[in-house]
């Protein structure tokens, strides 16, 4: 598993520096924004935190738990540990500014391509190298409140927090066991889950015109559980292929990210 970088506010401000040179009356105006509605379109990149998949119920017998309650070959509880790769985020929002300090918006964010990679730790002949992979996606909606802080030169810092719901889907967990055979695999059923989500954000707004701002922000997102379903696992071994009923598994989807968006006041 490769090292990952967690972005923070020290990353955001350098990104904004080239834009601070924008000239013209709109860029230098210090007029407070008027109350009213606005729309915002943007995107960014998430760096998900490390996560692991474990049984919904490690003691389940009917159907059988995929991992079980024992320790694995590394002394840790049986499971699959890894992380999702850095992922694209696409988002849109409609909001309303109540006064010079406070605004709120309804935000929809989509992560269409989440790729998980990690290792499992089954006991026995599987050996220490047990790669696991999966493809997933997440669609989340939030109500977000922002506090716009006093200007620092040409930019205006802001902080925000949001609460909402995320729908997370995963195709399956695909296990490989090269210690058994180059073709030995196990694939769980696909799954999906819907649950509570929240976000925390901080960034800066850069005026591009009388009604247009560029928002650059750091964001932490907790998108809740991502689960595989119970059902028939597809198992391939040197002796042949067969299906076996198993219970569901779950992991957590949390990420740090950097976003950039254009906000237009109507």
User: What residue segments make up the domains of the chain, in order of their start?
Assistant: 9-20+40-51+61-265
Contact 175, 127 (CB under 8 A): no
The answer, yes or no, to whether residue 6 has pLDDT greater than 60, is no
Q: Distances in Å between the alpha carbon of 183 and those of 120, 126, 176?
A: 16, 12, 8
Average pLDDT over residues 27-32: 52
pLDDT level of residue 189 (50, 70, 90 thresholds): very high
Q: Which CATH architecture has domain 9-20+40-51+61-265?
A: Beta Barrel (2.40)
Q: DSSP per residue over the chain, as a string?
A: --------HHHHHHHHGGGGG--SHHHH--PPPPSEEEEEEEEEEEEEPEEEEEES-TT-BTTBPSS-SSB-TTSSBSSEEEEEPPEEEEEEEEEEE-SSSEEEEEEEEEEEEEEEEEEE---STT-S--EEEEEEEEEEEEEEEEEEPPPBTTBEEEEEEEEEEEEEEE---EEE-TTT-TT-EEEPPPEEEEEEEEEEEEEEEEE-SSSEEEEEEEEEEEEEEEEEPSEEEEEEETTEEEEEEE--EEEEEEEEEEEEEEEEE-
Average pLDDT over residues 13-25: 42
- What pLDDT does residue 230 have? 93
- What pLDDT does residue 163 have? 98
- Residue carrying structure tokens 């000239």: 23
Q: Distances in Å between the alpha carbon of 184 and those of 129, 241, 256?
A: 12, 9, 35
| 155-188: pLDDT as tens digits | 999 999 999 999 999 999 999 999 999 999 999 9
pTM over 0.85: no
Average pLDDT over residues 81-104: 96
- Nearest-angstrom CA–CA distance, 245 and 20: 59
Q: What is the mean pLDDT of the chain?
A: 89
Contact 121, 74 (CB under 8 A): yes
């Amino acid at each position: 598993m490769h090292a990952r970088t967690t972005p923070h506010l020290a990353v955001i401000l350098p990104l904004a520096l080239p834009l601070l040179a924008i000239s013209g009356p709109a860029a230098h105006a210090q007029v407070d924004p008027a109350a009213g509605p606005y729309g915002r379109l943007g995107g960014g990149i998430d760096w998900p935190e490390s996560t692991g998949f474990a049984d919904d119920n490690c003691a389940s017998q009917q159907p059988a738990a995929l991992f079980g309650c024992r320790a694995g070959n590394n002394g840790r509880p049986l499971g699959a540990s890894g992380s999702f790769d850095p992922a694209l985020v696409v988002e849109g929002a409609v909001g309303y500014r109540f006064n010079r300090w406070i605004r709120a918006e309804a935000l929809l964010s989509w992560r269409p391509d989440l790729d998980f990679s990690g290792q499992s730790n089954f006991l026995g002949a599987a050996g220490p190298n047990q790669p696991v992979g999966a493809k997933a996606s997440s669609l989340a909606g939030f109500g977000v409140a922002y506090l716009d802080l006093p200007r620092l030169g040409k930019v205006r810092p802001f902080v925000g927090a949001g609460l909402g719901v995320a729908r997370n889907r995963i195709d399956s967990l695909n296990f490989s066991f090269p210690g058994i055979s180059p073709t030995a695999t196990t694939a769980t059923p696909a799954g999906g889950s819907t649950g509570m989500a929240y976000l925390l954000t901080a960034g800066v707004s850069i005026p591009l015109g009388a009604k247009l701002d560029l928002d650059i922000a750091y964001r932490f997102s907790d998108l809740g559980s991502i689960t595989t379903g119970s059902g028939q696992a597809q198992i391939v071994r040197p002796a042949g292929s067969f299906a076996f009923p198993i219970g569901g598994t779950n992991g957590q989807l949390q990420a740090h990210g950097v976003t950039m968006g254009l906000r237009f006041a109507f």
